[in-house]
Amino acid sequence: MITLYGLYRSRALRCLWALEEMGLPYRLVPVMQAFRLTDPAAPDAPFNTRSPGFLKLNPAGSVPVLEEDDVVLAESLAINLHLALRHGGPLGAADAAEAARLAQWTLFAATEIEPRSHPILMHRVQLPPAERSEAKVAEAASALARPFAVLDQILAKGHPVGGRFTVADIALAETVRYAQPAPALFEAAPHLKGWLAACQARPAYRRILARREEEPAL
């Protein structure tokens, strides 16, 4: 049995999406992010990313973490690449060349998209209104223009790896999603916009999104 530690309202979502797509049985152990708690060390604090038991799994103190047999693995995108290698089927690689492309586009999501898209989500949605900065949104949107143009060109030909939905699509879709509060970016990248809508319409994604909505807001 696969055990995943985290919450739907965290980067664990992308791992839960992969697990649902693969149809793998798993157990989700809720782990609160410590920064959301007044005192994560309090005796009555919920199990969180600073709890001693969790730090034994991931000394970095972040979710998600996956446990499977002898494997204990942190970092959401690394977890998905592991799942693709061990269980992937169509979501994984058909050969060594596809494995390299899965890694390529996963790293593109991590390095070129997420550092620029996440500030948009933070400053348009997540931060208290008094802490939001439209200047930060504009800066991030400007920095995303080029990688979005690259993706738009690639996605005009279909999925980025093997012409089918893979864990690379999950990595890209979940990092691109953070930029959705800046819709003008997507008007300039119509292939990217259509591909993201198709990814987010997949039944596995709709299931985990429904569960995310049921999870208490933090």
Q: Are residues 167 and 66 in the same domain?
A: no
Q: Are residues 50 and 112 in the same domain?
A: no
Q: Are residues 80 and 111 in the same domain?
A: no
Q: Are residues 159 and 108 in the same domain?
A: yes
Neighbouring residues of 23: CB distance < 8 A, sequence distance ≥ 6: none
Handedness of CA 39, 41, 46, 50 (dihedral sign): positive
Q: Are residues 96 and 35 in the same domain?
A: no
Give the whole-number percent of the chain exceeding pLDDT 70. 100
Strand, coil or helix: 30: strand
Predicted pLDDT of residue 206: 98
**Cβ-based neighbour number of residue 113 at 10 Å:** 25
Q: What are phi and psi of 68, to 5 degrees?
A: -150, 110
Q: Are residues 23 and 100 in the same domain?
A: no
Read off the CATH number of the domain in which 78 is found.
Answer: 3.40.30.10
Q: What are phi and psi of 141, to 5 degrees?
A: -65, -40
Q: Are residues 96 and 195 in the same domain?
A: yes
Q: Are residues 45 and 101 in the same domain?
A: no
Note down the domain range covering 62: 2-90+205-214
Predicted pLDDT of residue 218: 61
Predicted pLDDT of residue 216: 84
Query: What is the C-alpha to C-alpha distance for residues 86 and 90, in angstroms, rounded to an integer?
Result: 12
Query: What is the C-alpha to C-alpha distance for residues 59 and 132, in angstroms, rounded to an integer?
Result: 31
Predicted pLDDT of residue 56: 97
Q: Are residues 154 and 177 in the same domain?
A: yes
Q: Are residues 72 and 104 in the same domain?
A: no
pLDDT in tens, 182-201: 999 999 999 999 999 999 99
Q: Are residues 150 and 48 in the same domain?
A: no
Query: What is the C-alpha to C-alpha distance for residues 199 and 201, in angstroms, rounded to an integer?
Result: 5
**8 A C-beta contact, residue 79 and residue 67:** no
Report the domain count for the chain.
2
Query: What is the C-alpha to C-alpha distance for residues 207 and 17, in angstroms, rounded to an integer?
Result: 9
pLDDT of 61 higher than 80: yes
Q: Are residues 77 and 96 in the same domain?
A: no
Tell me what the mean pLDDT of segment 134-150 comes to: 98
